[in-house]
Amino acid sequence: MMKDCINYSKGCESCQRHGPVQQAPSVPMNPVVKPWPFRGWAMDLIGKIYPASSQQHCFIIVATDYFTKWVEAKAVKSTTSQEIITFIAEQIIQRFGIPESITTDRGSSFISGEMLDMAEAFKIRLLQSTPYYAQANGQAESSNKVIINIIRKMLEKNPKQWHEKLSETLWAYRTSKREATGMTPYALTYGHDAILPMEIAVQSLRIAHQHDLVGENYSQAMLLELEGLDAGRIDTLNKLLVGKQAVSRACNKRVRDKSFEEGEIVWKAVLPLGTHVAGYGKWAPTWEGPFIINQILGMGAYRLQDRDGGNNSSFLQYKILWKVMNMPLSSWKWATWDSLEISSSAIVALAFMVPPAWYCQTTS
C-alpha cells in the first residue's frame, strides 16, 4: 500500500514541473587529451563586451591548443562565419598547420554552411558541445576566464582600450606555467622559455653567456635543447593523463545514474537555466514538456521529439532532462479515481495523506 502511495504521489504534474535540476553528473566524465601539439583546438567567443573598444570591437575569438595550452585570440566587431573562418586560416592553419579537430559550441557562426565547407576542404573535424552545457568545451571556458581576468586588471583608467591590452595578455598567458602541464605554452611550442624583460634587467645566466656560444658549442646547445623538448613533451603528456584521470575519478564518485531509452517521456528544463516564464516571475516552473526521446546520441546526449511528432532540431544533455513519473502522455490534467491504476488500499491511504485542496481536485 505504501509503495502505491509513493508511486502515485510521484506522478503529481505540478511537483514534477517545479522540481529541482539535478546537479550531480549522470554519466562518467569523458576527458579530452591530445597527444601532440596543435592537433586539437578548443574555440569559443567572449562577448558581447560592454563597453566596446574605441575601435568598436565587441567580441574576442579565442582558440586554445589542448596539448600545449597555447592561446590565440583576436578582437572582432562581429561574429560572422567569415570572421571565424578568417581567424582559423590566419591564426591557426597558417601558423601551426591544419589541425585534426576544432571543438566549439553550437553558436550559429560555428555551425553555418560556410564553416562546414571550410572544414570539409581542409579535412578538419568540427566537434560541437551540447547546448547549455559549457563543461563539454571546458578548455575554451577555462582560457576565457583567465584572459578576462588578466585584461580586467589592466583597465582601471580607460576600459575602452581593452583591445590594445589583448596582445600583452596573450604574452603573459603564453609565458606563464600552466598547472596541467608544468611548463609554459611557449616552452612546449619552441623548446625553451621566452626571454622576458626581467632577465635583461637582472642579467640571467643564459643572457650572461649567450655571446660565449659560438660555432660547435652553439650547435651542440641547440641539439640538446631539441632533445629536451621531446622529453619535455612526453613528460607533459604523462602529466596530462594523470591529471585527467584524477579529475575523472573525483567526478565519477558523484555520478548518479540517469539514462533514457528511445520512446521514453521526459521533461526538459526551461532554458537557459534559471529563466522565468513570462507572467510567472519567481513562481515559474523549472521544467517544460513533455517530450519524447527520439534518438540516443551517446555520451549522455539525446535528441527530442515534440508530443505532436515534430522533431526538435537540437540535441540536449542528460542534465537538463528528467523522466516523467507515472503520468500518461495523453492526459496532463488531474485524474479522477476511476482513471487511476492503483489499488483500493492505496486510495484509502491517500484520503488521509493528501492535502484537502488537492484531494478535492482529484475527486471533482
What is the rounded distance in angstroms from the CA atom of residue 349 to the CA atom of residue 339? 17
Predicted confidence at residue 135, as pLDDT, reads 64
- Return the DSSP state at 29: -
CA distances from 285 to 9, 264, 273 (A): 18, 21, 11
pLDDT digits (tens, 9 = 90+) for 256-295: 777 778 888 888 877 766 676 667 777 888 888 788 888 8
Binned at pLDDT 50, 70 and 90, residue 1 comes out as: confident
What is the rounded distance in angstroms from the CA atom of residue 64 to the CA atom of residue 143? 7
Check pLDDT > 70 for residue 356. no
Predicted confidence at residue 251, as pLDDT, reads 80
Predicted confidence at residue 354, as pLDDT, reads 36
**Fold of the CATH domain 2-25+258-363:** SH3 type barrels. (2.30.30)
Check pLDDT > 80 for residue 84. yes
Predicted confidence at residue 335, as pLDDT, reads 34
What is the rounded distance in angstroms from the CA atom of residue 217 to the CA atom of residue 223? 10
Please state whether beta strands 265-269 and 321-323 pair in parallel, antiparallel, or not at all (unpaired).
antiparallel
Share of the chain above pLDDT 90, in %: 30
Predicted confidence at residue 131, as pLDDT, reads 65
Predicted confidence at residue 124, as pLDDT, reads 95
pLDDT digits (tens, 9 = 90+) for 21-49: 777 777 777 777 888 899 999 999 998 99
Q: What is the CA radius of gyration of the chain?
A: 28
- Cis amide prior to 356 (ω within 30 degrees): no
Check pLDDT > 50 for residue 136. yes
Check pLDDT > 80 for residue 162. yes
Share of the chain above pLDDT 70, in %: 79
The average pLDDT across 132-151 equals: 82
For the chain, domain boundaries: 2-25+258-363, 40-252
Q: Please determine whether the domains at 2-25+258-363 and 40-252 fall in the same fold group of CATH.
A: no
Per DSSP, the residues of 60-85 read: EEEEEETTT--EEEEEES---HHHHH
pLDDT digits (tens, 9 = 90+) for 311-339: 655 556 555 676 776 654 444 443 333 33
Predicted confidence at residue 351, as pLDDT, reads 32
CATH class of 40-252: alpha beta
Predicted confidence at residue 332, as pLDDT, reads 44
